[in-house]
Amino acid sequence: MQFVEYYYVILFWISLILTGIYVHMWHKHFSVNFSLIFAFIPIVNIGYVFKCQAGSAEAYLIATDLIYLGGCFLILFIMLNVFDMCKVEMSNWDKTICFFISTAVFLSVLTIGKYPVFYKSITVTPTADGLDVVKEYGPMHLVFHIMIVAYFGMSLAAFIYAYKKKKDVSRTLIILLFVPEAVAFAAFFGGRRITDIIEFTPLAYVFAQVMYLFIAHRICIYDISETAVDSLTESGDTGFISFDSKLRFLGANKTAIGIFESLADMTVDKPMSYYRDIYSVFNEKLEIYKAGGEDKFYYHKDDKDYLVDINDLYDGNFKKGYQFVITDDTKNQQHIKLINSYNDELEREVEKKTKDIKTANKSLIRGMAMLVESRDNSTGGHITRTSDVVEILMAEIMKDAEFTTVHGIDETFRRNVVKASSLHDIGKIAVDDAILRKPGRFTAEEFEKMKVHASEGARVLHSILENSPDEKFKVIAENIAHYHHERMDGSGYPKGLKGDEIPIEARIMAVADVYDALVSKRVYKESMSFEKADSIMMESFGKHFDKDLEKFYLSARPAIEKYYTDLVDAAC
């Protein structure tokens, strides 16, 4: 039995030394659970020493209470530490419930020898070899075992979740945390199956301490947010001033005192209002911040510009006051001033160049359209008129928020459709003059040749706009040229598209294109009255045209008719 006593005594002293090492290397980054583990292990291990040395029932029961103190709370602290270090969220309510469960179990331990709660009965009889202990387990002993299994299961779930999901947690750290807990769990439930002479649980606890010390020196490195703040504070480049919620001074670092010398005379817990120069700089800005306004301002001193950030000061999840973070922003401000000195001239130059580019671009597009129109006997003015009608239609469409949202129509889309509409017949450049300039209706064979202008238009525009930086305009222009002769019932050309297969910009173009063809004079027909043209248009919605565009045509019709009437009056 002397060997057993040495075994427990040695483990106690080792655990005490390891705790001393931890105290020596303690850092504020270590969580309270981490520290409680090191505090409890020597207490538990000395319980095993007392149990081995106990010469009476009273001493044995006191030792038992110390051992179960570890069983009830140490395993809880280990589990909570796992959640903290694996960065897996656990609510305060869950933590509180676990604490009360552990407390309830430990309170039942204290009833041993008095009430049949944890042990139904226990008999401690002194013998020549020590104590002969006979015990019968009660209901709370089963709860104790369930609790240990539950805490281990929760820890295991946290390990697995963190390993799979938490990229900001070191995989090595997860493994290092898992090993000691697994060893302790195995020692608690499996140790006595190996031998009844000694218990392996205190040895597992010492092993856990060694592993945790190895983890401890890595914690500060892994906690990037804390180490970054420490480095920033110690670097001497950033100033910090803190006040509590009642604007009482809490402290400042050397950098801040170097900027605001009167901080050196400020007494901790004295209100800011006692120091006029500090109050005049910070109070007004702080009031603006508290009202939901700016959280930054500049302070100028000795040809230097300091950027001051206002932040809430927290202790855990509780707001305790305010912190001012001060950085030297002089170089940046000088750079900004240098840039601003050229800004007005640069803006004027850019505005002029942009205007010139837009004018040239618009002229080029209109010139390309007019080039095609000059070859076509039947479309004099068609390009200009259809473009203007598209603009009238788009003005009505833009008033319908639901329709524009569904179809992704915005102001950029509107401008691009109007601009691209003048290019819808550009494919006619590929049609033979004999057909294009024929003074009459086409034969079936000629019409088939004329129909290629849709596909050719898309091909020509793709080639011309291939390197254009305006991808949205390119797509819209190609779609209008390619599909403006498609019909909702699928009877159009060149692809025979149906319904929503036809791009919305091409559906809009089709309405303007056909309307102009109806009311305008061509070499093969006279102009049609507004009434007759409107009758044909209305019959075509749902077949030729998109039924959803009917309401926009109807609302735009007065403006369209006035537009054509004004053209006739102007010609006269």
Measure the CA–CA gap between 94 and 85, rounded to whole angstroms: 17
Residues in the chain: 572
Contact partners, residue 392, CB within 8 Å, separation at least 6: 556, 559, 560, 563
The percentage of the chain sitting over the pLDDT mark of 70, rounded to a whole number, equals: 84
What pLDDT shows up at residue 526?
81
pTM: 0.45
* Count of Cβ atoms closer than 10 Å to residue 345 Cβ: 9
Give the CA diameter of the chain: 134
Strand segments (E) across 451-555: none
Residue 106's alpha-carbon distances to 52, 149, 164, 199, 209, in angstroms, are 21, 16, 35, 20, 23
Can you list the domains of the chain with their CATH numbers?
2-227 (1.20.1070), 236-328 (3.30.450.20), 360-571 (1.10.3210.10)
What average pLDDT is seen over the chain?
83
Read off φ and ψ for residue 568, nearest 5 degrees: -65, -45
How is residue 545 annotated by DSSP?
Answer: B
pLDDT tens, position by position, 27-86: 666 778 888 888 888 988 888 888 888 878 888 888 888 888 888 888 898 889 888 888
The stretch 259-269 carries a mean pLDDT of 82
Contact 442, 435 (CB under 8 A): yes
pLDDT of 136 above 70: yes
Q: How far is CA 531 from the centre of its chain?
A: 57
pLDDT of 360 above 70: no
Q: In terms of Cα–Cα distance, which of 82, 140, 136 is closest to 107?
A: 140
What pLDDT shows up at residue 354?
53
363: amino acid identity, one letter: S
pLDDT band, very low/low/confident/very high, at 353 (cuts 50, 70, 90): low
Residue 124's alpha-carbon distances to 51, 65, 106, 186, in angstroms, are 12, 15, 21, 28
What pLDDT shows up at residue 56?
83
Contact partners, residue 225, CB within 8 Å, separation at least 6: none
What pLDDT shows up at residue 411?
93
What pLDDT shows up at residue 571?
65
pLDDT tens, position by position, 450-501: 888 899 888 988 888 887 788 898 999 999 999 999 999 999 999 999 999 9
Measure the CA–CA gap between 324 and 483, rounded to whole angstroms: 62
The stretch 315-339 carries a mean pLDDT of 79
Tracing tokens 């950085």 back to the chain, one arrives at 327
pLDDT band, very low/low/confident/very high, at 379 (cuts 50, 70, 90): very low
What pLDDT shows up at residue 224?
42
Measure the CA–CA gap between 503 and 166, rounded to whole angstroms: 44
Q: What tokens appear for 398 in the block?
A: 């833009």
* 372-381, 532-541, 542-551, 560-569, range with the lowest pLDDT: 372-381
